[in-house]
Structure 1
Amino acid sequence: MDLHVNLDDRRDLAGQIYRGLRAQVLDGRLRQGERLPPSRELARRLGVSRNTVGVAYEWLAAEGLLVGHVRTGSFVQAPPRPRQTRQRPGAREGKARTRALWSQLPEPSLQGPHAPFDFRVGVPDGALFPFETWRRLVARQLRASALTAAYGEPAGHPALREAVARHVGVSRGVRAEAADVFVTQGAQQALDLVGRVLLEPGARVAVEEPGYPPARLLFQSQGARVSPIPVDAEGIDVRALPDDTRLVYVTPSHQFPLGTVMSTARRQALLEWARRRDAWVIEDDYDSEFRFGGRPLETLQAMDTTGRVLYIGSFSKVMLPALRLGFLVAPPSLHRELRVARWVTDGHGPHATQAALARFIDEGLLARHIRKMRREYEARHRRLTEGLTLRFGDRVHVAPSVAGLHLCALLTRGSVALERALCERARERGVNVEGLSGYYAGRATQAGWVLGYGAVSVKGIDEGLRHLRDCLTHLDATTRKDDPSRDVTPRRSTPR
């Protein structure tokens, strides 16, 4: 262990060492049972005599903070204590000044312990992941012969770029070569790179409403003016796009969170709009691997003839979010700028993980894994859809959805206040569920739930919906009791 002990001057050296180590023990930096360096070694590091360190150790032992064992060394003997926040010198003098934007953005809502009935959105089933196979592939890349001391390519591991180009070409019809692929740490980093390259401060970005909050918040953090654009049954309303929009972010294959699919006519209209306005389109192909019915429409990227579309994908749902693996398919006109942007931000991603994923794809293991997950998630999607219809009847409308890891249930009667009360009461009963209103940038025009089924079993779906129905029944009764004359305004049962 490397210990830092501050020696202000050459007087009372043993006392300074004693007080420095004592402070670290008492405030919890040195914990019970930790081994201190031998006196000879610490003396050499501090540039003092061994006897000086020995005296400091003896004082700590006399105070009961240190115990020495022959041949094994000296160990911290202090009982466990709650660690206290230390006040740094000068910390009282003023508050750090940061960009005002960062105090306005919400703090990240980290996923806590799993609830008994976990309908969180965007969480895959980790039990389905082939850990043994993945461990073997990663171990192969961690051998000395596979690693290098040099820094990696900012655009990603060459083998993985090749593999991704083939994968999206075969599975989604994306037209891409290896040079078009940039490997990222998730879709969020891909969005960050695009924003860094394309957006000047104050540029306008259009996002779907309701839509994916992390994308909207990211563009806001980059100084863009973000405009939420309504989504209807065919996708984003192209007619509502401001003329000065520089970038449009859409999820056409499985709109997040409503689950609708952008029609061919709307896709063509968006591409034509981008061509006329000299704008760019980000196509986030969210959850496209898990399609349970219907014919998949051609991607915007494949339809694009003018090089205006940037295609984004992620392996977080088909594998694990913790691996932080995603990709961006970009037109040649942006290759240089994106490569430089990646280089100046974090350089490159982890070599071994990317190389292992390349083998995972090339050996057909990814395709096999996706087929297995698709069967399981289709069963959960069907059970959730049937359960909502059976238990809630006309109180909810299940938004049409044939893909992904979640679906949206819209309240046909009730308000956003009722939605939020339902979510809060459900959590008290062990049901983790998210409200639709949280996905609006502005005032929510529809209330409901967004229900993920990646982290809940088929059996758990039935039980969780029963609890959710009980919560709704209770709140309905409470509302009638508190205000029998209250008029609950019916809401449209289909997305705008």
Structure 2
Amino acid sequence: MLPGVTGSEDLVNAIIDQIADGVLVDGDTIPSSRVLAQQTGLSRGTVVRAFDELAAAGFVSAEHGSGTKVSAGATQAARAGARTRGRGVPQTRGVVAPRRGRSRRDLRPGVPDATLVDDQAWRRAVRAAASAGLSGLNPWDEPSPALQAALAVHLRRHRGLSAAEPLLFDSSRSSIAALCWAFSTSRSDGRTPSQIQFHIEDPGYRGALLMAREQGLDVRFHPADPDGMDASRLGDEPGIVFITPAHQYPLGHRMSVDRRVALVEWARRTGSLIVEDDYDGEFRYGVAPLPALATLPGGREHVAYVGTSSKSVSPDLRVAWCLPPGELTRDVQRWLAVHRRGPSALPADALAEFITSGAMDRHLARAARVYSDRRSKLVAALAEACPDLAVTGVEAGLHLCVLLTDCDDESVVAALEATGWRARSLSSQSAERRVSGLVLNYARLTGRDAVEFAHTLGEVLVRHRPRKPPSMPPTPAS
């Protein structure tokens, strides 16, 4: 329940953090001092001192025969930053305070639940990486050979990408920028960047859009289709197509096999580049995996496969990879050398050890089970509290979309934030075709939180949806 607690002050702060995050709410009963002592390894006397401090500050109250409960108003106080004592900078050298991630009430997409990573396995991987010492090499010139080898095996086993030789980046955005530049440099046929078309779905991934605009490309928007990008709408000029076929961002559609084949054939016929961003393709729920575009006939010559550890493990690793078509490899490497956007060696080597030890496979299997359960609980809670809402993107990934057809999503997001919940508006991911809705990340959402959020959303929608005029009685016949 409370990992990393080593004393009464840690226990006090951990309980207040759980109150602030909504894990504990006003009126909840806290486990007894005996149970917490067993869970944390602290002495019972230490736990009792922590309870006394919490009670003195008004966060908990003890009633004879009823145990210790979270006091009324404790949630509001904890979220306002109240604590039992000032939190100064610790003076003990060599002691690192545990990091806190996002609140569990922050449902904005992009962050997995890093607590699902096996701490012991990850620490072993870091120790193994650190034991090699410092290489004295630039990571953009001499990327981690251990991670390249580990990824080659991982991508072959999980995504069917044989003979993979991935290039390493610090983020998927960097790899997208490198691919845009490389295509503009080597396949432009004398055209300026502004004459090279960049096709992207709308709503779509804003990071890719920003990279294309930084390169000065001619951005063309296409409506996001449940079956995926329609190659018949792309014309005959060579260009770049950016897609997220495993779980379209943000609507969550899965690209059909027919559309995948047609898009690769279009790229082969026109000499174009497809950027396949497989940002959260590791997670699927009750559906068969669809082939990566790079594995289709002609795919390796025209598809650049992009992946990242940000969703499968944690974004703070800052490790991503790209498998560009052979003709673009040298230009992508040149971009890396100039912009110096490779990952740091220590997290790259640690991730390599994490993969080769088998810990990554175990982590993905466990995380998929947990995410599937959390997704199901959120879908069920939404169906009960808001039965008229359409939900998309539930077959894969870490987020889903709730479509709002009759109210302004930005107003709904602001109203939710006033209640302590954070979400991302779907319209903020739209460029030309404004779609109203919410993008919700369920990676860290407990079942109780899902029910609370769904009921809160229902209450917010009652206030923000236009009221229907009362129906008039029929006019009697004359």
TM superposition score normalised by structure 1: 0.69
2:119 to 125, 131, 138: 131
Question: For 1:312 and 1:119, how far apart are their aligned partners in 2?
Answer: 25
- Mark the runs of 5 or more structure 2 residues left unpaired by the alignment: 1-99, 185-191, 472-478
The answer to whether structure 1 residue 201 and structure 2 residue 193 are counterparts is yes
The answer to whether structure 1 residue 405 and structure 2 residue 398 are counterparts is yes
Amino acid in the other structure paired with 1:117: R
Question: For 1:256 and 1:153, how far apart are their aligned partners in 2?
Answer: 29
Partner of 2:173: 188
Q: What is the CA distance between 1:231 and its match in structure 2?
A: 1.9
Question: For 2:112 and 2:393, how far apart are their aligned partners in 1?
Answer: 21
1:172 to 156, 159, 162: 159
Amino acid in the other structure paired with 2:267: A
Partner of 1:470: 459
Which moved further from structure 2: 152-161 or 311-320?
152-161
Residues 485 and 196 of structure 1: CA distance in aligned 2, closer, same or farther (over 3 Å):
farther
Q: Deviations over 1:55-95 (max 9, x none)?
A: xxxxxxxxxxxxxxxxxxxxxxxxxxxxxxxxxxxxxxxxx
Q: What is the CA distance between 1:129 and its match in structure 2?
A: 2.4
Indicate the SS of the match to 2:193: coil
Who wins on radius of gyration, i.e. which is larger?
A: 1
Partner of 2:80: none
1:216 to 209, 216, 225: 209
2:232 to 229, 235, 239: 239
Partner of 2:14: none
Which moved further from structure 2: 133-142 or 370-379?
133-142
1:330 to 324, 327, 332: 324
Partner of 2:86: none
The answer to whether structure 1 residue 448 and structure 2 residue 437 are counterparts is yes
Partner of 1:435: 425
Q: Deviations over 1:355-392 (max 9, x none)?
A: 11111111101111111111110001101111111111
Indicate the SS of the match to 2:387: helix
Partner of 1:254: 247
Residues 233 and 239 of structure 1: CA distance in aligned 2, closer, same or farther (over 3 Å):
same
Question: For 2:439 and 2:345, how far apart are their aligned partners in 1?
Answer: 36
Partner of 2:18: none
1:414 to 402, 406, 417: 406
Amino acid in the other structure paired with 1:397: A
Question: For 1:116 and 1:175, how far apart are their aligned partners in 2?
Answer: 38
Indicate the SS of the match to 2:258: helix
Question: For 1:137 and 1:286, how far apart are their aligned partners in 2?
Answer: 23
Partner of 1:297: 290
Indicate the SS of the match to 1:393: coil
Q: Deviations over 1:94-147 (max 9, x none)?
A: xxxxxxxxxxxxxxxxxx99456221111111222233432332233224x532
Indicate the SS of the match to 1:154: coil
Contact persistence 2:386–2:454 (CA under 8 A): no
Q: What is the CA distance between 1:470 and its match in structure 2?
A: 0.7
Indicate the SS of the match to 1:281: strand
Please give the root-mean-square deviation of Cα atoms over the aligned residues, in Å: 2.1
Question: For 2:410 and 2:364, how far apart are their aligned partners in 1?
Answer: 34
Q: What is the CA distance between 1:245 and its match in structure 2?
A: 4.8
Q: What is the CA distance between 1:217 and its match in structure 2?
A: 1.0
Q: What is the CA distance between 1:275 and its match in structure 2?
A: 1.3
Q: What is the CA distance between 1:347 and its match in structure 2?
A: 6.5
Partner of 1:53: none
Q: What is the CA distance between 1:205 and its match in structure 2?
A: 0.5
Question: For 1:239 and 1:458, how far apart are their aligned partners in 2?
Answer: 43
Question: For 1:421 and 1:149, how far apart are their aligned partners in 2?
Answer: 52
Alignment of 1:382-401 (within 5 A): 382-394=376-388, 396-401=389-394
Amino acid in the other structure paired with 1:320: S
Q: What is the CA distance between 1:323 and its match in structure 2?
A: 0.7
Q: What is the CA distance between 1:172 and its match in structure 2?
A: 1.2
- Mark the runs of 5 or more structure 1 residues left unpaired by the alignment: 1-111, 487-496
Contact persistence 1:155–1:342 (CA under 8 A): no
Partner of 2:271: 278
Residues 124 and 308 of structure 1: CA distance in aligned 2, closer, same or farther (over 3 Å):
same
Question: For 1:228 and 1:237, how far apart are their aligned partners in 2?
Answer: 12
Question: For 1:367 and 1:326, how far apart are their aligned partners in 2?
Answer: 18
Partner of 1:151: 138
Q: What is the CA distance between 1:485 and its match in structure 2?
A: 8.1
Amino acid in the other structure paired with 1:171: H
Contact persistence 1:124–1:318 (CA under 8 A): yes
How many residues align? The count is: 363
Partner of 2:32: none
Partner of 2:261: 268
Alignment of 1:362-381 (within 5 A): 362-381=356-375
Question: For 2:333 and 2:101, how far apart are their aligned partners in 1?
Answer: 38
Residues 153 and 342 of structure 1: CA distance in aligned 2, closer, same or farther (over 3 Å):
closer
Residues 326 and 159 of structure 1: CA distance in aligned 2, closer, same or farther (over 3 Å):
same
Question: For 1:175 and 1:116, how far apart are their aligned partners in 2?
Answer: 38
Q: What is the CA distance between 1:433 and its match in structure 2?
A: 1.3
Q: Deviations over 1:390-411 (max 9, x none)?
A: 11112x1112531100011112
Amino acid in the other structure paired with 1:316: S
Alignment of 1:46-65 (within 5 A): none
Contact persistence 2:197–2:218 (CA under 8 A): yes
